[in-house]
């Protein structure tokens, strides 16, 4: 190894790249597994919702919205349930993987949205959506990013807990109580999905705006010429 | 934070790492001077956000590093197997089997489903009739008997009086449909466990199979059959079961989802083996077999 390095080095001293390890393996793994799971769970969830597209009683039934079948996964209620009951494990598993890792390494401090970040949200939103001046950011994640990423953890927690109540109401009836009961669990479950649906387009737009190099760092972890080095 | 400590240490020691891009230094210093209060969160210039040192490498080494990390994401690609038609259904069957297994583990014969006060019970007119084929399969209620077979000491025909002679349980419980709606109803009947004792069932057997007058069929795990709230139900709202709700006898299990609650029972069988294609009408088409709530 040493001899190879020695022979290669002189020729390449001028051509070097600065790389930073941005996203540890656990985070990337959890991110992509979760991305797939959220996609499948929303698609199959909407198909399940089509079977009874209401939050009211069965008699009389008042439909809330008609979700086009083409936007759903599973083909029919039974198929959608299979997708839902399979990918819920991947969703919960990847979520736990991420949260436990962040807690264990202390990295959660970089990304958790706290009261200190509130004042920084509007200037950042103004910059992104209204072409305002770019606020100084001296942390790994800006306040708007922290808000977005922290809210996905919150939506994940809400969809998991409400999902447990919907899946096993006889076992977890006590868990339904703080949600306002079984019917509200179904409403919160739907709202949590809306939270993900609100996050995803903004997230994808930001990924597109920040280009391939930034995107690729979520794939391999390594970011070439990180922007914060100037 | 550890990164900051590391950073400060290196700064004070004047050991500027060689691989730091030199132009980064003045800018970071300037912003540090301006915003002294933000000092604690300044990203150290020689350490990435994940706490790993920033490295200067050859393009070849960079490619190799990327490739190595890419290989470590193979498990994500494995999820892509769901996109291959040949593997899709077997994988989804595995997923459903895992969920059913976990559901069975979660279940306890001693954990009761919630019961409700009579003010929470939905009026009888608003308790939906649900059927897969016909609302009334035309059971002759005068000559009806329940045929009992399988791993029991006393197989044969049982009439409704024999079932009604068992202690009567009346409960207000939630009926949950797989579609997403639910109703709280009033149900009366004999404990399934009492009936199983009456027929001398081998309760170490695994399943109870049920055949219905409308051609519907079901199979239930023994643990659920022995649950104290599992009923052979012959009454709703204090009245004999009407034909649409499964007269004269149906299963009523507050720990199971709606499609498991077989109606118009004709025969039951205690068994250890389920025929692969006769696990339940909807289950054979892809619904969860366990169907536990």
Determine contact: A36 vs chain B, CB below 8 A: yes
pLDDT digits (tens, 9 = 90+) for B49-60: 777 888 888 888
Determine contact: A66 vs chain B, CB below 8 A: no
Asked if A86 lies within 8 A of B288 by C-beta distance, the reply is: no
Burial (CB count within 10 angstroms: exposed 0-12, middle 13-18, buried 19+), residue A80: buried
Domain holding B9, by residue range, is 2-56
Query: Length of chain B, please?
Result: 293
Kindly give, in sequence order, each residue whose CB lies less than 8 Å from that of residue B86, ignoring residues fewer than 6 positions away.
none
- Let me know if residue B75 belongs to a domain: no
Query: What local confidence, expressed as pLDDT, does residue B42 receive?
Result: 52
- Whole-number percent of chain A with pLDDT over 70: 93
Claim to verify: residue B111 and residue B46 sit in the same structural domain: no
Claim to verify: residue B270 and residue B146 sit in the same structural domain: yes
Separation in Å, CA of B194 to nearest CA in chain A:
22
Q: Which of residues 170-189 of B touch A (CB under 8 A)?
A: 174, 176-183
- pLDDT for B2 beyond 60: no
Whole-angstrom Cα distance, residue B189 to residue B181?
Answer: 24
Separation in Å, CA of A172 to nearest CA in chain B:
9
Whole-angstrom Cα distance, residue A149 to residue A54?
Answer: 30
Claim to verify: residue B49 and residue B114 sit in the same structural domain: no
Q: Which of residues 45-74 of B touch A (CB under 8 A)?
A: 45, 48-52, 54-60, 62, 65-66, 69-70, 72-73
Claim to verify: residue B187 and residue B114 sit in the same structural domain: yes
Determine contact: B122 vs chain A, CB below 8 A: yes
Query: Length of chain A, please?
Result: 230
Determine contact: A81 vs chain B, CB below 8 A: yes
pLDDT band, residue A22 (cuts 50/70/90): confident
Nearest CA in chain B to A102: B50
Structure token pair of residue A86: 């399979």
Of A168, A170, A183, the CB nearest to B254: A170
Asked if B62 lies within 8 A of A57 by C-beta distance, the reply is: no
Claim to verify: residue B7 and residue B113 sit in the same structural domain: no
Residues in a beta bridge with B221: B207
Domain range annotation of chain A = 22-53+67-91, 107-219
- Let me know if residue B246 belongs to a domain: yes
Claim to verify: residue B37 and residue B116 sit in the same structural domain: no
Query: What local confidence, expressed as pLDDT, does residue B21 receive?
Result: 41
Nearest CA in chain A to B31: A138
pLDDT band, residue A143 (cuts 50/70/90): confident
Whole-angstrom Cα distance, residue B61 to residue A13?
Answer: 13
Substitution target in A1, A138, A187, A227 with the highest count of B β-carbons within 10 Å is A138
Q: Is the dihedral of CA B54, B57, B61, B63 positive or negative?
A: positive
Determine contact: A182 vs chain B, CB below 8 A: yes
Nearest CA-CA partner of A19 in B65, B18, B29: B65
Nearest CA in chain B to A23: B50
- What spatial distance separates the first Cα and last Cα of chain A, rounded to whole Å? 33
Claim to verify: residue B115 and residue B237 sit in the same structural domain: yes
pLDDT band, residue A214 (cuts 50/70/90): confident
Claim to verify: residue B198 and residue B272 sit in the same structural domain: yes
Determine contact: A170 vs chain B, CB below 8 A: yes
Match 């025929």 to its residue by tokens.
B275
Determine contact: B96 vs chain A, CB below 8 A: yes
pLDDT digits (tens, 9 = 90+) for B239-272: 999 999 998 999 999 999 999 999 999 999 999 9
Nearest CA in chain B to A142: B41
Structure token pair of residue A130: 């209204």
Whole-complex ipTM: 0.85
Nearest CA-CA partner of B174 in A61, A182, A178, A51: A182
Whole-angstrom Cα distance, residue A187 to residue A179?
Answer: 9
- Let me know if residue B277 belongs to a domain: yes
Determine contact: A124 vs chain B, CB below 8 A: no
pTM above 0.90, yes or no: no
Claim to verify: residue B129 and residue B265 sit in the same structural domain: yes
* B47: DSSP letter: B
Whole-angstrom Cα distance, residue B51 to residue B49?
Answer: 5
pLDDT digits (tens, 9 = 90+) for B158-190: 999 999 999 999 999 999 999 999 999 999 999
pLDDT digits (tens, 9 = 90+) for B115-161: 999 999 999 999 999 888 788 888 889 999 999 999 999 999 999 99
Of B113, B177, B286, the CB nearest to A170: B113
Asked if B43 lies within 8 A of A221 by C-beta distance, the reply is: no
Asked if A18 lies within 8 A of B21 by C-beta distance, the reply is: yes
Of A57, A85, A229, the CB nearest to B21: A229
Instruction: Give the total number of structural domains in chain B.
Output: 2
Determine contact: B128 vs chain A, CB below 8 A: yes
pLDDT band, residue B45 (cuts 50/70/90): low
Determine contact: A210 vs chain B, CB below 8 A: no
Of A29, A57, A228, the CB nearest to B73: A29
Nearest CA in chain A to B19: A18
Nearest CA-CA partner of B45 in A97, A113, A228, A31: A228
Chain B residues in contact with A137 by the CB 8 A cut-off are none
Claim to verify: residue B112 and residue B49 sit in the same structural domain: no
Nearest CA-CA partner of B267 in B148, B151, B153: B148
Kindly give, in sequence order, each residue whose CB lies less than 8 Å from that of residue A8, ignoring residues fewer than 6 positions away.
B58, B60
Claim to verify: residue B40 and residue B141 sit in the same structural domain: no
* Mean pLDDT score, A123-136: 85
- Whole-number percent of chain B with pLDDT over 90: 66
* Percent of chain A as helix, strand, coil, to the nearest 5: 70, 5, 25
Contact between B38 and A138 under an 8 Å Cβ cutoff? The reply is: yes
Kindly give, in sequence order, each residue whose CB lies less than 8 Å from that of residue B285, ignoring residues fewer than 6 positions away.
A78
């Amino acid at each position: 190894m040493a001899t190879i390095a020695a022979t290669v080095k002189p020729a390449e001293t001028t051509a070097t790249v600065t790389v930073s390890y941005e996203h540890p393996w656990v985070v990337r793994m959890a991110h992509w597994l979760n991305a797939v799971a959220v996609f499948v769970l929303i698609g199959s969830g909407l198909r399940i919702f089509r079977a009874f597209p209401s939050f009211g009683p069965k008699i009389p039934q008042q439909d809330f919205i008609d979700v086009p079948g083409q936007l759903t996964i599973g083909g029919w209620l039974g198929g959608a349930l299979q997708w839902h009951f399979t990918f819920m494990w991947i969703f919960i598993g990847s979520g736990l993987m991420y949260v436990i890792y962040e807690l264990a390494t202390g990295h959660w401090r970089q990304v958790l949205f706290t009261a200190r970040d509130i004042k920084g949200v509007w200037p950042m939103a103004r910059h992104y959506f209204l072409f305002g001046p770019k606020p100084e950011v001296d942390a790994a994640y800006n306040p708007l990013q922290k808000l977005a990423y922290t809210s996905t953890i919150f939506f994940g927690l809400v969809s998991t807990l409400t999902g447990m109540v919907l899946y096993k109401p006889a076992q977890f009836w006590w868990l339904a109580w703080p949600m306002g009961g079984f019917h509200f669990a179904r409403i919160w479950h739907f709202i949590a999905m809306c939270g993900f649906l609100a996050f995803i387009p903004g997230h994808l737009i930001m990924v597109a705006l920040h280009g391939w190099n930034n995107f690729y760092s979520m794939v391999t972890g390594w970011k070439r010429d990180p922007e914060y080095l100037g | 934070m550890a990164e900051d400590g590391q950073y400060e240490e290196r700064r004070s020691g004047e050991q500027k790492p060689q691989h730091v891009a030199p132009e980064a230094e003045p800018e970071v210093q300037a912003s540090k001077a301006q915003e002294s209060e933000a000092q604690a969160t300044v990203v150290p210039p020689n350490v990435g956000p994940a706490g790993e040192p920033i490295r200067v490498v050859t393009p070849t080494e960079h490619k190799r590093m990327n490739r190595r990390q890419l290989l470590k994401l193979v498990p994500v690609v494995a999820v892509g197997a769901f996109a291959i038609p040949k593997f899709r259904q077997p994988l989804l069957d595995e997923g459903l089997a895992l969920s059913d297994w976990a559901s069975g583990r979660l279940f306890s014969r001693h954990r009761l489903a919630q019961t409700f006060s009579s003010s929470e019970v939905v009026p009888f007119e608003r308790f939906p009739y649900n059927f897969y084929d016909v609302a009334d399969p035309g059971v002759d209620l005068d000559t009806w008997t329940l045929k009992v077979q399988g791993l029991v000491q006393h197989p044969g025909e049982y009439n409704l009086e024999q079932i009604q002679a068992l202690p009567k349980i009346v409960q207000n419980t939630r009926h949950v449909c797989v579609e997403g709606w639910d109703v709280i109803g009033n149900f009366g009947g004999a404990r399934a466990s009492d009936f199983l004792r009456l027929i001398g069932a081998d309760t170490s057997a695994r399943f109870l199979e049920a055949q219905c007058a409308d051609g519907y069929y079901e199979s239930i795990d023994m643990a659920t059959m022995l649950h104290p709230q599992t009923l052979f139900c012959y009454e709703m709202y204090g009245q004999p079961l009407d034909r649409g709700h499964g007269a004269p006898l149906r299963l009523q299990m507050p720990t199971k989802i709606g499609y498991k609650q077989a109606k118009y029972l004709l025969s039951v069988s205690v068994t250890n083996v389920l025929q692969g294609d006769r696990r339940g009408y909807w289950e054979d088409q892809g619904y969860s077999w366990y169907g536990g709530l």
